[in-house]
Structure formats: C-alpha cells, structure tokens
Structure 1
Amino acid sequence: MKNSNKPTTGAMSERKGPLIINLKNYLEISGDKALSLTREAERVSERTDIEIILSPPLPLLAWITKNTKLSVIAQHVDTQQPGPSTGFSIPEIVKGAGGVGSLINHSEHPVNQEIIKDLVPRLRSLGLLSIVCAKNLPELKNITSMCPDYVAIEPPELIGTTKSIATEKPSLISDSFQHLKLVASQSKLICGAGINSSEDIRIAIKLGSKGILAASSVVKSKNWYEKINELASQF
C-alpha cells in the first residue's frame, strides 16, 4: 500500500491522537520485522480510528512509507543542505522518501537551540511536521517560542523505564499544557518517557497531552497488536 495519508503542516488529521511509535534502533524491528509491526499498527488504527505515526530508522523509512497508509516520520534530521553532505539526514530527502516530518532534539540525539531554530521553519517550508522534544519545562518554553507543530515533553531519566511521566512527574505534563495555553501557542503537546500502559495514557490525556510518544513498551512487547491496542484505547 502506498502512503497517501499525508497530513498538512501544522495539524494531523481530525482523528484522535497521535500515538507516535519510535522504533529507535531496536533489533526487534530489524529487517522485515519492522513491516510486521507496521501491519499490527495499521490494524489498530483502522479499528480505533486513532492517528498512529511510525518513526523507523532512516534506512527503513522509504520502505515503510511505500508499504503503509500510516504516516511515517524520521527520527532525526540534520541542517546540512542538499548536495555534498555525505552521511547526513536532511529534510528534503526525508520528504522524497515519503516521510511527513521528523522528531527533533530527542534526548538520545540532542541538538542545540540554533539547530532547532533552523529546522522548524525548514520543515514547514517543505510541508513537513516538526515534533521537537524537550527534557524539562524551561527547555519546552524555549522550544515553544520557535512554533513547532508539536512539542514533546520527555524527562530523559524515565525514557526506556517502567516509570512513567504520567505517574512520576504528572505536574510536568500539566505545567507544559498550561504554558502552551498561557502563550496561546499553536504548538500541540505530546508527552513520553516510560509510557507503558493504558492508565499512563489516560492520565496524560487528562492532564492536557494531545498525543503520546512511545517506544520500548511497544517494540519490546511480545504481542505488538495487543500493546498498541491497549495504548490506543485511552485516546
């Protein structure tokens, strides 16, 4: 199936979510296994009408986009320009591969503020979404001023653990939401870090998060469909 479900910049579809699944570089999704997970995510999205977005490793991005109707984003993009920029991932190539946007500044691949300032408008000019991660409230406030489409609050010490931002640091979600509301930001709030259960998502949504960024809880699950379905059930 060809990926024809491309959202316009500044908003996803009117469906609930998004639930963004970051596949990272886990061996559980290497090779053909990434497409198997994609198929399970499609089943959930079709059944629940939840917007599910996949973020695969760059070598798999074009292959996934050509074989799914789900939206697919890059895990990272660089500021280098088209042409002689060997080894870098640039927005124009991501778009050409069928991607609809990119994560920026994930705690496992942080970048400085000047790079974020460069990438957000560049992605927008290409019709691509910017989903910028922040590790704490001060960083979120700085990032919000750059007007990304989404800002994702993720305390790094909880990423990849069974301790969720929703239960360990719920005020970080609510304070982030209140800041976006206070400054009348067009950016929408996403949260992540330790999101493992439907209860985590129920709390996060109640506290003001529009979407969820999940990774290991899905990828390392023994049953991808059941885990994705569980997480999607609370939107």
Structure 2
Amino acid sequence: MNLPYPHFQVNLKVYPDTWGDHAVAFARMLEQLEAETSARFVLTPQLPDLRLIAAETDVTVTAPFMHATEPGRGMGKILPETLADAGADGVVINHAENRDTLTDLVWKIERCRDLGMDSIVCVDSIEMGRAVAEFDPDSVIYEMPGDISSDRAITQTHPDRVRAFLAMIDEENPRTRVLVGGGISTAEDVRLAFEQGADATGAASAVSLATDPEGLLREIAAAFP
C-alpha cells in the first residue's frame, strides 16, 4: 500500500481557490504539518494539479477519478496509466458524486493493482462494503451520501454503524483498510473515528471552505492516536 495509516484525507473537489498555485500552497502546508506533528495527510486535488503537487511536494496524493479505459481511442477519458505516471499514489473509485458501475469498479481495482496505485473504493452501506471487499481493494471509504458536505458526522450520529462496518471488513478482508467519512468536520469527529477503530478519516468542504484551514488541521493533527 502507498497510503500511510492512520491518515486524514483532504479532498479539494472543485471548491473555490483550491486549484493551481492555491493547491500547491495547500500541499506545502500539509507537508509542514507532517513535519511538525505525528499526523499524516493524503491530498486529493483536481486532476490537472496532481502531477505538479507530486513533483513539488512529498505529500501523498490520490486522484479523484479515472475512467475504465485502455490506451487508444477515447477523447476526454482519464487513463489509469496517465495517473500513475503523474505520481498518483492511489485513485478514489465510486464516489457518491461520481458513481461507477460494478463492472468498472472491479476493473479499476485490478488496474490500480497492476499499476502500483492504491484502490480506494467508496461504499455507503455494510452490504455494499461486503460485496466490494470480495474484490480486495486496498481501502474503502465508508460514508452515507446524505452526510457529505453536512455537519452530521457518522462517528457522532451512528457510531454503532461504524463499529459494525469495521467488524464486517475485519471478518471479510482484514487486509482492506477503512476510512470513515461524510460529515467529518471537527477534531472531535476525527478522534471518535480513530477511537471507533477506523484506519483513516477525512473531509472535503469542512477544510476547503474553512476560514482557517491550517488552524483546523492543526486541531485535527492533535486528535491523531
């Protein structure tokens, strides 16, 4: 696996002022936080910024998406080989805002394995997690779609679901790591995620839209086990 554990993943999505020079500056800030604390971070930038961040920083970077496509014809497609060459340590698959078919999901897990990138598969239920675990992804992101971009962290509202999901993965495929997401927005949310047994956690809007993202991330770093 390429991703460090435990970690906090920051997904920049397409929020304002999170691309280009802003993205590189954000990655350098994460680098500094890693140097000053025991926390580890994973950054998921917009695709055009991935190569630059990988070249100019040592932050672990993951791609937010790729297509299930082979080299050849495919105008506008995102090729797995391109992401690997750009320095992606992993690829997020089947996010709630960009769903994959089951056929593509399985293909992407296998292609990531072939190219040396971690497969990071989003699931929204214990049942889906059990089905995906059969295909041996490197990690799964467990989040309820309704919690995304909200202040309803599942670690606060449904800790029983988190523990049940983690127990299921431990039974079905203990090699697969689990990131708990959706609504994570405070250091307390993060502390609870790790306390409940998650290998990682993360956020998007809570960090990307924060008035003081560095201050928030310092608080989060202090919540690491």
TM-score bucket of the superposed structures, by smaller chain: over 0.9
| Alignment-derived partner of residue 12 in structure 1 | 3
The offset of 1:11, in angstroms, is 5.2
Distance (whole Å) between structure 2 residues aligned to residue 233 and residue 27 of structure 1: 27
Distance (whole Å) between structure 1 residues aligned to residue 76 and residue 15 of structure 2: 21
Contact 2:133-2:173 within 8 A present in 1 as well: no
Q: Which runs of 5+ in 1 are unaligned?
A: 1-9
Contact 2:124-2:143 within 8 A present in 1 as well: yes
Q: Which runs of 5+ in 2 are unaligned?
A: none
After TM superposition, the structure 1 stretch with the greater mean CA deviation from structure 2, 177-186 or 103-112, is: 177-186
1:185 paired with 2:174, answer yes
Identity %: 28
> Which of 102, 125, 140 is the equivalent residue of 1:136?
125
TM-score (norm 1): 0.91
Q: 1:82 to 1:137 in 2, by over 3 A?
A: same
What is the identity, as a one-letter code, of the residue corresponding to 2:154?
I
1:170 paired with 2:190, answer no
Distance (whole Å) between structure 1 residues aligned to residue 173 and residue 23 of structure 2: 38
3-state SS in 2 of match to 1:133: strand
> Which of 40, 63, 86 is the equivalent residue of 2:75?
86
Q: 1:11 to 1:186 in 2, by over 3 A?
A: farther
| Alignment-derived partner of residue 204 in structure 2 | 215
Deviations 1:63-107 (A, max 9, x none): 111111011110011111112222111211001111111000110
> Which of 63, 68, 91 is the equivalent residue of 2:57?
68
> Which of 44, 64, 86 is the equivalent residue of 1:97?
86
After TM superposition, the structure 1 stretch with the greater mean CA deviation from structure 2, 222-231 or 54-63, is: 222-231
Deviations 1:188-213 (A, max 9, x none): 11110010111101111111110012
| Alignment-derived partner of residue 15 in structure 2 | 26
Q: 1:110 to 1:176 in 2, by over 3 A?
A: same
What is the identity, as a one-letter code, of the residue corresponding to 2:41?
I
Contact 2:119-2:137 within 8 A present in 1 as well: yes
1:229 paired with 2:189, answer no
3-state SS in 1 of match to 2:151: coil
1:119 paired with 2:108, answer yes
What is the identity, as a one-letter code, of the residue corresponding to 2:85?
G
3-state SS in 1 of match to 2:185: coil
Distance (whole Å) between structure 2 residues aligned to residue 148 and residue 215 of structure 1: 22
Distance (whole Å) between structure 2 residues aligned to residue 147 and residue 185 of structure 1: 10
The ranges of structure 1 where at least 4 consecutive aligned residues each deviate by more than 4 angstroms after the TM superposition are none
TM-score (norm 2): 0.95
Q: 1:163 to 1:47 in 2, by over 3 A?
A: same
Alpha-carbon RMSD across the aligned residues, in angstroms, is 1.3
Equivalent pairs, count: 224
